[in-house]
Structure 1
């Protein structure tokens, strides 16, 4: 693998160590990411192999501010990094402005072809006119995590095989939630309504925005059905009513405030961080997920046309998203690869996690990733609807607003985002 990485570094970035005519000193590239991509050591490795390249890493703690900054600087026409990371929930806003990004299929290394990635991951980054505006980094195949000890205390199935019927469909999941609330004396089944709702919507063929880039919400029966299921569970006491990624939500993991958690691959690290070493072995993960599978999360590396060194930026982005480097990022931060060769790697397939009872997490999430088929089209505003319309409306329901009033709040807010 290391030998292959060395070959790839040479193939993808050979020109990166040479000085273009008139260039004095190293070529300076900037890369802007958010949260944890696992690139710190990789960027130093690339610089060592390419002495003509100097890399500055701009890292934002949260995805929201990063993407707001990206869109603002696109509008201003200056200030963007040579490589800008884009999370899949915000990809629609970038695809809507594809003319402001380089087509990586044209400027990127010739050896970087579509078969590097899972088909749905590659296709999601193509604009309507066929441009490839991003190289895929990680993905977020969905599984279900749960507190084994809490299910056992409620007299419910708890090992990863016996729980599968509970998580077979959303109907069976919420039915199990009603059972758990009754058996546990009123304890919560899940952390947040919005976390479940987002997963449900992402599984649908048609999301918030149609291919005509118009809002589908009012006439989208599948989204409304998902809303009805989630809000009914809230009224039954299944939700812990925690705002995702808040301090209370973080503390809820440690306190056992909920029994189950929709679990994209990257959530394993979140659970371990917030639950703490004292809860090791209490959490488990199973490859059963309501509706079969889905994806939540994952990002892309783009090269804006603002870049003064687009070819060198594309070479760096290609190297970072090669299977060898994505496996290293997975080891460093748990970001699950989206590259086909990485998914075949014995290193990944053999990965286990003692915190989750020795679960074969590599094999498990590879299987879940392969269940994802055609990506749902996400038109402009999709990510904002999820974050700024759906989540607040569901939180309002959790605080006592009726499901019908919450739905109207969602629709009204969504209309201000997608007109």
Structure 2
């Protein structure tokens, strides 16, 4: 946990008049790493321009959202601006604990400046905006260029389809390298990126779960084949083993959002710079893998100041670009996409012009409307049913049918 505070003297030194009433111009930003790296760069100018001091409180991704769930339920303890992951925006909006940004601040005037699918995800059932998109998660595959070269694997062949991807994994296994940290990531990629038109991630337009459909069966089958052939390292994301795997080259690929670049470069494995490349996901799929929103809890005592920070971070082109440059958080604001920054080579990726690839993916992602039961369904499918199939050998159709029953029961009163 980290709390950063600027004193009034510091604010004054930045050029803000000393007559600023500190009690009325202090707000707190609650988020998760690597937002702190970005805030260190963005906040000095914001504080200088507005006289609003910003403290920030960072918790790891899971703890941050657990804490916010409690804060919104009890009506106290949340910051004035909160970061909400795309997987949580639906239930958080449905909780009624977030400020209506359309009604209170005219947020809709910015609609045309944002990726349509992300803008739709920040809306409530009433069609109003409760979360402003701050960054997107274009789905990509990071891969070890040095390992692929030594194994004689052609990248374009490896990502042609899932059979080719698995075949590449079999070649890597001969070199004592795993294809991926966890087969579960492959299942997640397929589930997230092959949503039929009119469906949500886990529910149809009428709120019925669709988790026994071919999309989920296929996702589980591909993941199970990878596991059965011993091609994954059985390492879960955000664990110490995962970090070490990136540093040591334990696995050769990782399916993720574009944002993983910032984590790899800034703190997970900076010493591996030059040994990585990034590509489209296998099987020609396009989809979102993560993404963040900025919201204001209704419990905030400084909502106007909070909105100024949200506006600053989401609607200003140069700020969105700086956020992108600092932590590889891909801009939600599409007015940035013609900037020269996208043409620059990324040193960590061996000079690849990776941002052009990120933009191509972002432009091809189709909107998937969030549902208030998504967080429940995600937990049941990815943390329970999938693990039973991969770790315990449970029959796929049986696992999905049981998951469907559990989802219906647990979302009945949402």
Name the counterpart of 1:42: 42
Using the TM superposition, give the Cα deviation of residue 25 of structure 1 relative to its aligned residue in structure 2, in angstroms. 5.0
Partner residue of 2:136 out of 125, 136, 139: 139
Name the counterpart of 2:182: 192
Name the counterpart of 2:255: 262
CA distance in 2 between counterparts of 1:304 and 1:334 reads 27
Task: Check 1:308–1:221 CA distance in 2 against 1; reply closer, same or farther (3 A cut).
Answer: same
1:371 counterpart = 2:396:
no
Contact 2:262 2:326 (C-alpha < 8 Å) held by counterparts: no
Using the TM superposition, give the Cα deviation of residue 170 of structure 1 relative to its aligned residue in structure 2, in angstroms. 3.1
Name the counterpart of 2:289: 296
What pairs with 1:59-78 in structure 2 (closer than 5 Å)?
Answer: 59-60=58-59, 62-78=60-76
1:172 counterpart = 2:164:
yes
Contact 1:136 1:301 (C-alpha < 8 Å) held by counterparts: yes
Name the counterpart of 1:155: 152
1:96 counterpart = 2:87:
no
What pairs with 1:4-23 in structure 2 (closer than 5 Å)?
Answer: none
Using the TM superposition, give the Cα deviation of residue 188 of structure 1 relative to its aligned residue in structure 2, in angstroms. 1.9
Contact 1:102 1:133 (C-alpha < 8 Å) held by counterparts: yes
Contact 1:293 1:372 (C-alpha < 8 Å) held by counterparts: yes
What pairs with 1:242-257 in structure 2 (closer than 5 Å)?
Answer: 242-257=235-250
Using the TM superposition, give the Cα deviation of residue 392 of structure 1 relative to its aligned residue in structure 2, in angstroms. 4.7
What pairs with 1:267-278 in structure 2 (closer than 5 Å)?
Answer: 267-272=260-265, 273-277=267-271
What pairs with 1:206-217 in structure 2 (closer than 5 Å)?
Answer: 206=199, 207-217=201-211
Contact 2:373 2:411 (C-alpha < 8 Å) held by counterparts: yes
Using the TM superposition, give the Cα deviation of residue 260 of structure 1 relative to its aligned residue in structure 2, in angstroms. 1.5
1:11-31 C-alpha deviation (Å, 9 max, x unpaired): xxxxx99x99xx885333222
Name the counterpart of 1:202: 192
1:350 counterpart = 2:343:
yes
The alignment of Structure 1 onto Structure 2 pairs a total of residues equal to: 387
Partner residue of 2:299 out of 281, 306, 319: 306
CA distance in 2 between counterparts of 1:365 and 1:386 reads 25
Greater mean alpha carbon deviation, residues 130-139 or residues 193-202: 193-202
Q: Which runs of 4+ in 1 moved over 6 A?
A: none
CA distance in 2 between counterparts of 1:230 and 1:110 reads 41
Gaps of 5+ in 2: 1-15
Partner residue of 2:83 out of 63, 82, 85: 85
Contact 2:118 2:133 (C-alpha < 8 Å) held by counterparts: yes
Using the TM superposition, give the Cα deviation of residue 102 of structure 1 relative to its aligned residue in structure 2, in angstroms. 1.9
- SS of 1:71's partner is helix
Name the counterpart of 2:216: 223
Task: Check 1:109–1:415 CA distance in 2 against 1; reply closer, same or farther (3 A cut).
Answer: closer
What pairs with 1:103-142 in structure 2 (closer than 5 Å)?
Answer: 103-108=100-105, 112-142=109-139
Using the TM superposition, give the Cα deviation of residue 74 of structure 1 relative to its aligned residue in structure 2, in angstroms. 1.6
- SS of 2:284's partner is coil
Partner residue of 1:28 out of 17, 26, 29: 26
Using the TM superposition, give the Cα deviation of residue 387 of structure 1 relative to its aligned residue in structure 2, in angstroms. 4.5
1:361-383 C-alpha deviation (Å, 9 max, x unpaired): 22121111111122x23322423
1:232 counterpart = 2:225:
yes
Name the counterpart of 2:322: 328
- SS of 1:223's partner is helix
- SS of 1:55's partner is strand
Instruction: Provide TM-score, normalisation by structure 2.
Output: 0.84
Greater mean alpha carbon deviation, residues 118-127 or residues 409-418: 409-418
Instruction: Provide TM-score, normalisation by structure 1.
Output: 0.83
Partner residue of 2:393 out of 392, 397, 401: 401
